[in-house]
Amino acid sequence: MDENKQYPLKKVCLICAKGSLEDVYAALVMTNGAVMEGIEAKLFFTFFGLDAITKNRMNSLKTGTLGNPAMRMPGGLPFPSLMGVLPGVEAGVSAMMRNQMEKLDIPPVDEFMELITAGGGEIYACKLAMDMFKLTKEDLSKHVSGVLTIGDFYEKCGGLGTQIIFT
Protein backbone atom coordinates (compact mmCIF):
# COMPACT_ATOMS: atom_id res chain seq x y z
CA MET A 1 0.00 0.00 0.00
CA ASP A 2 1.28 3.48 -0.85
CA GLU A 3 1.12 5.41 2.44
CA ASN A 4 0.64 8.71 0.54
CA LYS A 5 -2.50 7.61 -1.33
CA GLN A 6 -5.79 9.02 -0.12
CA TYR A 7 -9.10 7.43 -1.04
CA PRO A 8 -12.48 9.05 -0.46
CA LEU A 9 -13.68 5.52 0.23
CA LYS A 10 -12.98 4.64 3.87
CA LYS A 11 -14.99 1.44 4.16
CA VAL A 12 -16.31 -1.13 1.71
CA CYS A 13 -18.93 -3.74 2.54
CA LEU A 14 -19.49 -6.51 0.03
CA ILE A 15 -22.41 -8.94 -0.15
CA CYS A 16 -21.88 -12.22 -2.02
CA ALA A 17 -25.13 -14.11 -2.73
CA LYS A 18 -23.91 -16.51 -5.42
CA GLY A 19 -21.81 -19.64 -4.99
CA SER A 20 -20.18 -20.02 -8.38
CA LEU A 21 -16.40 -19.94 -8.60
CA GLU A 22 -16.38 -16.69 -10.58
CA ASP A 23 -18.85 -14.89 -8.29
CA VAL A 24 -17.09 -15.89 -5.08
CA TYR A 25 -13.68 -14.92 -6.43
CA ALA A 26 -15.00 -11.53 -7.55
CA ALA A 27 -16.01 -10.82 -3.95
CA LEU A 28 -12.74 -12.18 -2.54
CA VAL A 29 -10.58 -10.20 -4.97
CA MET A 30 -12.44 -6.95 -4.30
CA THR A 31 -12.36 -7.44 -0.53
CA ASN A 32 -8.68 -8.34 -0.51
CA GLY A 33 -7.89 -5.39 -2.78
CA ALA A 34 -9.60 -3.05 -0.35
CA VAL A 35 -7.68 -4.51 2.59
CA MET A 36 -4.40 -4.13 0.69
CA GLU A 37 -5.20 -0.46 0.00
CA GLY A 38 -5.91 0.22 3.67
CA ILE A 39 -9.67 0.44 3.20
CA GLU A 40 -11.77 -1.13 5.97
CA ALA A 41 -13.46 -4.18 4.41
CA LYS A 42 -16.34 -6.42 5.47
CA LEU A 43 -17.64 -9.35 3.41
CA PHE A 44 -21.11 -10.86 3.97
CA PHE A 45 -22.10 -14.21 2.44
CA THR A 46 -25.77 -15.02 1.98
CA PHE A 47 -27.90 -17.63 0.19
CA PHE A 48 -25.77 -19.73 -2.20
CA GLY A 49 -22.75 -17.58 -1.44
CA LEU A 50 -22.57 -19.52 1.85
CA ASP A 51 -20.88 -22.34 -0.11
CA ALA A 52 -17.75 -20.15 -0.15
CA ILE A 53 -17.47 -20.20 3.64
CA THR A 54 -18.82 -23.70 4.34
CA LYS A 55 -15.81 -25.90 5.21
CA ASN A 56 -16.83 -28.91 3.13
CA ARG A 57 -17.69 -26.89 -0.01
CA MET A 58 -15.40 -23.86 -0.08
CA ASN A 59 -12.55 -25.37 -2.08
CA SER A 60 -14.72 -27.24 -4.59
CA LEU A 61 -16.80 -24.42 -6.07
CA LYS A 62 -17.98 -24.85 -9.65
CA THR A 63 -18.19 -22.57 -12.67
CA GLY A 64 -21.72 -22.30 -14.07
CA THR A 65 -21.75 -23.53 -17.67
CA LEU A 66 -25.46 -23.10 -18.42
CA GLY A 67 -26.83 -19.70 -19.31
CA ASN A 68 -23.46 -17.96 -19.20
CA PRO A 69 -23.24 -15.87 -22.39
CA ALA A 70 -19.71 -14.70 -21.53
CA MET A 71 -18.34 -18.27 -21.37
CA ARG A 72 -15.71 -18.90 -24.02
CA MET A 73 -13.87 -21.99 -25.17
CA PRO A 74 -10.08 -22.00 -25.64
CA GLY A 75 -9.45 -19.88 -28.72
CA GLY A 76 -12.26 -17.46 -27.88
CA LEU A 77 -15.20 -19.23 -29.52
CA PRO A 78 -18.51 -18.97 -27.64
CA PHE A 79 -19.20 -21.94 -25.37
CA PRO A 80 -22.35 -23.74 -26.54
CA SER A 81 -24.68 -23.59 -23.56
CA LEU A 82 -26.19 -26.95 -24.47
CA MET A 83 -22.82 -28.61 -23.75
CA GLY A 84 -23.23 -27.64 -20.10
CA VAL A 85 -25.84 -30.37 -19.59
CA LEU A 86 -23.42 -33.14 -20.57
CA PRO A 87 -22.00 -35.17 -17.68
CA GLY A 88 -18.57 -33.98 -16.61
CA VAL A 89 -18.58 -30.72 -18.58
CA GLU A 90 -19.17 -28.48 -15.54
CA ALA A 91 -16.48 -30.33 -13.57
CA GLY A 92 -14.05 -30.05 -16.49
CA VAL A 93 -14.66 -26.33 -17.00
CA SER A 94 -14.32 -25.75 -13.25
CA ALA A 95 -11.03 -27.67 -13.17
CA MET A 96 -9.75 -25.60 -16.11
CA MET A 97 -10.69 -22.37 -14.32
CA ARG A 98 -8.95 -23.47 -11.10
CA ASN A 99 -5.89 -24.49 -13.14
CA GLN A 100 -5.74 -21.06 -14.80
CA MET A 101 -6.14 -19.36 -11.43
CA GLU A 102 -3.36 -21.50 -9.95
CA LYS A 103 -1.05 -20.51 -12.83
CA LEU A 104 -1.73 -16.87 -11.93
CA ASP A 105 -0.91 -17.67 -8.27
CA ILE A 106 -4.47 -16.92 -7.16
CA PRO A 107 -4.94 -18.74 -3.85
CA PRO A 108 -7.72 -21.20 -3.08
CA VAL A 109 -10.74 -19.85 -1.21
CA ASP A 110 -9.55 -20.77 2.29
CA GLU A 111 -6.14 -19.15 1.74
CA PHE A 112 -7.79 -16.06 0.25
CA MET A 113 -9.91 -15.69 3.39
CA GLU A 114 -6.76 -16.05 5.48
CA LEU A 115 -5.21 -13.12 3.57
CA ILE A 116 -8.32 -11.00 4.06
CA THR A 117 -8.66 -11.62 7.78
CA ALA A 118 -4.91 -11.36 8.44
CA GLY A 119 -5.06 -7.91 6.83
CA GLY A 120 -7.92 -6.80 9.08
CA GLY A 121 -10.89 -7.64 6.85
CA GLU A 122 -13.97 -9.24 8.36
CA ILE A 123 -16.08 -12.08 6.98
CA TYR A 124 -19.68 -12.75 8.03
CA ALA A 125 -22.46 -15.24 7.30
CA CYS A 126 -26.15 -14.40 6.92
CA LYS A 127 -28.31 -15.70 9.76
CA LEU A 128 -31.42 -16.08 7.59
CA ALA A 129 -29.60 -18.13 4.95
CA MET A 130 -27.86 -20.19 7.65
CA ASP A 131 -31.26 -21.03 9.14
CA MET A 132 -32.74 -21.81 5.69
CA PHE A 133 -29.93 -24.22 4.81
CA LYS A 134 -29.73 -25.61 8.35
CA LEU A 135 -26.09 -24.67 8.80
CA THR A 136 -24.37 -23.96 12.10
CA LYS A 137 -21.33 -21.83 12.95
CA GLU A 138 -19.36 -25.09 13.23
CA ASP A 139 -20.02 -25.77 9.52
CA LEU A 140 -18.21 -22.57 8.58
CA SER A 141 -14.59 -21.63 7.98
CA LYS A 142 -12.62 -20.46 10.99
CA HIS A 143 -12.21 -17.12 9.21
CA VAL A 144 -15.91 -16.24 9.61
CA SER A 145 -16.18 -13.60 12.34
CA GLY A 146 -19.85 -14.22 13.04
CA VAL A 147 -23.37 -14.94 11.89
CA LEU A 148 -25.38 -11.74 11.48
CA THR A 149 -28.78 -10.56 10.34
CA ILE A 150 -28.64 -8.23 7.36
CA GLY A 151 -29.61 -5.40 9.71
CA ASP A 152 -26.62 -6.17 11.94
CA PHE A 153 -24.36 -6.22 8.87
CA TYR A 154 -25.69 -2.86 7.65
CA GLU A 155 -25.06 -1.44 11.11
CA LYS A 156 -21.41 -2.53 10.84
CA CYS A 157 -21.28 -0.83 7.44
CA GLY A 158 -22.45 2.54 8.70
CA GLY A 159 -20.51 5.75 8.43
CA LEU A 160 -19.43 8.35 5.91
CA GLY A 161 -17.26 7.17 3.07
CA THR A 162 -18.80 3.66 3.04
CA GLN A 163 -19.72 1.79 -0.14
CA ILE A 164 -21.93 -1.31 -0.16
CA ILE A 165 -21.37 -3.61 -3.15
CA PHE A 166 -23.65 -6.53 -4.03
CA THR A 167 -21.89 -9.16 -6.15
In this predicted structure, what is the pLDDT of residue 141?
A: 97
Spell out, as residue ranges, where the chain has pLDDT lower than 70.
1-7
Would you say 29 and 35 are in contact if contact means Cβ atoms under 8 Å apart? Answer: no
In this predicted structure, what is the pLDDT of residue 124?
A: 98
In this predicted structure, what is the pLDDT of residue 94?
A: 86
Residue type, 155: E
Three-class SS state of 15: strand
In this predicted structure, what is the pLDDT of residue 49?
A: 97
Would you say 33 and 115 are in contact if contact means Cβ atoms under 8 Å apart? Answer: no
In this predicted structure, what is the pLDDT of residue 67?
A: 73
- Which CATH number is 11-60+109-166's, of 3.40.1260.10, 3.30.1490.190, 3.30.465.10, 2.30.42.10? 3.40.1260.10
Write down the domain spans for the chain: 11-60+109-166
In this predicted structure, what is the pLDDT of residue 139?
A: 98
For the segment 69-88, what is each residue's pLDDT rounded down to a tens digit? 777 877 888 887 777 778 88
